[in-house]
Structure 1
Amino acid sequence: MKILQTTAAFFFALTLTNVSFGHSGGTNAMGCHTNHRTGDYHCHTPKTPPPQRVLYCHVINGEPRCGYALSTCNDLVSQYGGQCVQQ
């Protein structure tokens, strides 16, 4: 009986918690990324890209989202439209 009460209390406690999930998406050279589920572009920790590295901006609706490799930029264009512009 004690195990049943403990198990019930545990599952009840789970229903009261506020669960937040992180995302596994890596960031680009600028510390940003596009959420592939929602299409939202956001930044975490700003980075300064290494000098002399070619980076591309995914430009969509006039908004540049910079810091990507060409292959990633092309993938974003395929998924969301827009164009890639070398930075």
Structure 2
Amino acid sequence: MIAWVLYDIVNDKARTKAAKVCKQAGLYRVQFSCFLGTLTPNQRDTLQLQLADLIDEDTDRVYIFPMSRSELQQTTLLGQAFDRKLVTDEVRALFF
């Protein structure tokens, strides 16, 4: 499944670790606190657990939104957009 991961984390160290965890999961950084990529259900669960360990539930927010490929193809991109080719299994494998 394609997933968007967005977060608002107050602590700088935790925010940096969250970005690292997202990159290690093979997600592509779209904006500073916004990642996009392909995850298996197991990878999604693992990522969710890792991010849950980093955040303060009283102050921080993390969203993991699933998205179908057809919805991604319908996305409107304005300005400096991300490269849609980076959101495929083949390219994601290059990150490892």
Greater relative contact order (CA < 8 Å, ≥ 6 in sequence): 2
Fold shared by both chains (TM-score > 0.5): no
Q: TM-score, normalised by structure 2?
A: 0.25
Structure richer in helix, relative to its length: 2
Q: TM-score, normalised by structure 1?
A: 0.26
